[in-house]
Amino acid sequence: MTDTKLDLLQGTLDIMVLQTLDVLGPQHGYGIARRIEQLSGNEILLNQGTIYASLVRLQQRGWIAAKWGVSESNRKAKFYSITKAGKSRIKKDRTQWERVAAVMARVLSLGTQP
């Protein structure tokens, strides 16, 4: 099963988390993990515990903030939201990523063109 799933590149998880929070607003850890899995069309199957290392990293950089709150189902959960610094960061990351992706696509298509 795992062979067919995507391995995450180093640093990509941080970008996904930021993007998720930017688009969907405050979320708890489980919500972020589930959303990433859904968005990837279940191509990515996270070891969900690893998301918390990413969250703490982003927090320390000041790109996201955390607060204990209550979920829709009345459960206590920690909610994460993107900060101003985080928003400008994800903008930069997005353009950066698109450029890298475009270059990669060009390079990888080299041999396949007639």
Partner 1 sequence: MSALKRAWRRLLSLFNGHNLDRDFDEEANSHIDLAIEDYVQHGMPLSEATRLAHLRFGSIAASKDTHRDSRGLPWLEGFSFDLKHALRGLRRDRSFTLSAITMLALAIGLNVTVFTIMDAMLFRGFPLVQRNDRLVYLQERYPSGVCCISYADFEDWRTQAQSFEGLSYVGSASISVNAAGSRSIDTTAFHVSTNVFGLLGVPPLIGRDFTPADEASGAAPVVILNYRFWERQLGKRADIVGSAVHINGVPTTVIGVMPERFDFPTRQDIWMPVVHSSEVQQRGLTRRGFIAVGRLRDGVRPEEARAEIEAINRRLESDHPATNRGLVPTVVRYEQLSSGPDARVIWGSLWVGAWFVLLIACANVANLSLVRTIGRWREFSTRIALGAGQARMMRQVFVESLTLASIAGGIAWWVTTWSLHRWETVTESRFQVLDYAVDSRTLAYLLAISAAAALCSLAPIGRILQLGAGGALKGDARGVTHTLRTRHLSAGLVAGQMALAIVLLSGAGVLMRSFLEIVSAETGVRDPENVLAGSIRLPSDRYGYPSARTQYFDRLAEQLRTIPGIEATSLSSHLPIYGTNALTFEVEGRPGPPDRSEAVQFFTVDSGYFRVIGAPLIAGRDFSADDRASTQRVAIVNDSFAAKYWPGETPIGKRLRSINRNEPGDWRTVVGVAPDIMQGDAIRQTFKPLVYVPFRQQPLQVAFFLARVSVPMDSVAQEVRTRIEAIDGVVSLESLQTLKDSAAFDRDYMDPEHSELGKHATVAPVFAVIALLLSAIGLSAVVAHSVSQRTKEIGVRMAIGAASRDVRRMVFREGMVPVAVGAIAGLAAALAVNRVLQSQLVGVSPYDPLTMTSAPAILFAVALLACQIPTRRATRIDPVLALRQD
Which residues bind to partner 1, rule: CB under 8 A? 28-31, 33-34, 45-50, 52-53, 56-57, 60-63, 71, 73, 75-78, 85
> Do 80 and 28 form a contact (C-beta atoms < 8 A)?
yes
> Do 26 and 79 form a contact (C-beta atoms < 8 A)?
yes
CB of 70 to partner 1, least distance (A): 10
Q: Which is nearer to partner 1, 73 or 109 (CB)?
A: 73
Residue 69, classed as helix, strand or coil, is: strand
CB of 54 to partner 1, least distance (A): 8
Q: How far apart are CA 56 and CA 111, in angstroms?
A: 42
Q: Which is nearer to partner 1, 88 or 96 (CB)?
A: 88
Q: Which is nearer to partner 1, 63 or 90 (CB)?
A: 63
CB of 108 to partner 1, least distance (A): 32
Measured at the CA of 88, the angle between CA 55 and CA 19, to 5 degrees, comes to 45
Tokens representing residue 71 in the block: 């979920």
